[in-house]
Amino acid sequence: MPRVLKPALLSAVVVSAVVLSSCGDDNNADSVADASNAPSSDETAADQSVDDDVVTSVAPNGEELDVLALDNNFRDEEIEIVAGTTVVWENGGRNDHNIVPVDERAGWGVDIEEFRPGDVYSHAFTTPGEYPYYCTLHGTADFGMIGTVVVTG
């Protein structure tokens, strides 16, 4: 039976997903691809983006989509994936970058120290929604080196 998060549970999910101790600190911060555990903390953004609609999270499906971090652009800047897909970012530039979700509670992303040229970071998006992110060194939440992952159900 699909797991359904009712609005009453959203607060608890949000609180548990808060990551304030460090920028881009990710519960799945390994530099290799990882399958996020369900329920994923990216559900917070998804749930809130669809208001009272029922949102279903899925398990990682083994599919991957690559995003290239250049100096100073993400290519492609906006991608669309189905829930369960893992996005793999590679720093193909010569500068350090980071990946910071606009939603600071999202619990994914990668610090500068782990996203130097040649480094790879991945995250499985298991809940439909839109997940904007950016590099703090070369942009802000809505300008410069920005990207968005659009996750469809």
Partner 1 sequence: MNRLGSTRSRRLSAALIGAALLLAACGSDDGSSGSSGTDAPGATEAPTATDAPDTTDSPATTDAPSDGVRRVPSDYPTIQEAVDAAVPGDLVLISPGVYNEAVNVSTDELTIRGLDRNEVILDGEFELENGIRVLGASGVAVENMTAINYTVNGFYWIEADGYRASYLTAQRNNDYGVYAFDSINGLIEHIYAAGSPDAGLYIGQCYLCNALVTDVWAEYNGLGYSGTNSGGNLTIVNSQFNDNRAGIVPNSGSYELCYPGRETTVIGNVVFNNSNPDSPSKGLADLAFGTGITVAGGVGNVIERNLVYDHDRAGIAIAPFPEENPNDDIPGEDEWDITCDVQREAPLAEVTAEDLVAETYLVWNPYDNRVIGNSVAGSGLADLVNSGFGVPTEELRNCFSGNTFATSQPASLETLAPCDAPGSGDWTIDAFDPIQIVTFEAPPSVDYQTVELPPLPMLPGMEDPENAPASPAVGLSLTFDTSVLTLPTAPYYSHDG
Q: Does 13 bind partner 1 (CB under 8 A)?
A: no
From the CB of 130, what's the least distance to partner 1, in Å? 6
From the CB of 4, what's the least distance to partner 1, in Å? 18
Among 13, 119, 150, 153, binds partner 1 (CB under 8 A): 150
Query: CA 51 to CA 71: how far, in whole Å?
Result: 36
Inter-CA distances, 15 with 3, 9, 124, 129, Å: 19, 10, 21, 19
Among 93, 107, 126, 127, binds partner 1 (CB under 8 A): 93
Tell how strand 64-69 and strand 85-91 pair up.
parallel
Burial class (CB in 10 A: 0-12, 13-18, 19+), 50: middle
Q: Does 97 bind partner 1 (CB under 8 A)?
A: no
Q: Does 27 bind partner 1 (CB under 8 A)?
A: no
Among 7, 16, 30, 75, binds partner 1 (CB under 8 A): 75
> What phi and psi values does residue 86 have, to the nearest 5 degrees?
-95, 130
Q: Does 81 bind partner 1 (CB under 8 A)?
A: yes
